[in-house]
């Protein structure tokens, strides 16, 4: 049976496969801005998740089974993330550490305001708002 396709906001995710529901959710704004890439990369990525679930059950999300389907069935590179510009679709706040800049979600920003502290995974310094 063909999967149900929905267009709902999904934060930074270009797409999400809901395995047990046989449903794929695509980010409507990212889709509008990157239609060809969605057809060539995102949809095969998510359909591969559904196929792996149907054929193999519960396995690693981007494991050997998924990679095999991406390469052999769809002829796609088995990339696990997209490289779309998400600035226009996400509300972020600029933070920095000693080694780089970080775009934190509004949820994390609000957590910092209420006392949570975040550290950079590379340099281990506390993030501060720019």
My answer on whether 65 and 16 are in the same domain is yes
Per the domain annotation, does 83 fall within a domain? no
Active site residues: 46
My answer on whether 41 and 97 are in the same domain is no
Q: Which two tokens stand for residue 44?
A: 């095969």
Give the integer Cα–Cα distance in Å for 80 and 67: 9
DSSP strand E in the chain: where?
4-7, 15-18, 23-26, 92-96, 101-105, 128-129
My answer on whether 26 and 63 are in the same domain is yes
**Mean pLDDT, range 16-38, rounded to an integer:** 93
pTM of the model: 0.69
My answer on whether 56 and 111 are in the same domain is no
Q: What range defines the domain where residue 105 resides?
A: 92-129
My answer on whether 8 and 41 are in the same domain is yes
- What pLDDT digit, counting tens, does each position of 28-58 carry? 989 999 999 999 999 999 999 999 999 999 9
Q: How many domains does the chain have?
A: 2
- What pLDDT digit, counting tens, does each position of 50-107 carry? 999 999 999 999 999 999 999 999 999 999 988 888 776 667 788 999 999 888 888 8
Per the domain annotation, does 68 fall within a domain? yes
Q: Which two tokens stand for residue 32?
A: 């509008």
My answer on whether 43 and 96 are in the same domain is no
């Amino acid at each position: 049976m063909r999967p149900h396709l929905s267009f709902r906001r999904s934060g930074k995710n270009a797409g999400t496969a809901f395995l047990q529901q046989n449903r794929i959710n695509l980010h409507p704004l990212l889709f509008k801005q990157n239609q060809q890439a969605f057809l060539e990369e995102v949809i095969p990525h998510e359909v591969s998740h559904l196929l792996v679930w149907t054929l193999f059950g519960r396995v690693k999300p981007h494991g050997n089974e998924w990679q095999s389907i991406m390469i052999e069935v769809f002829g796609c590179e088995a990339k696990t993330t997209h490289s779309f510009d998400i600035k226009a679709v996400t509300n972020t706040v600029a933070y920095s550490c000693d080694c780089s800049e970080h775009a934190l979600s509004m949820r994390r920003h609000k957590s910092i305001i209420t006392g949570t502290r975040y550290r950079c995974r590379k340099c281990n310094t506390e993030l501060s708002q720019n």
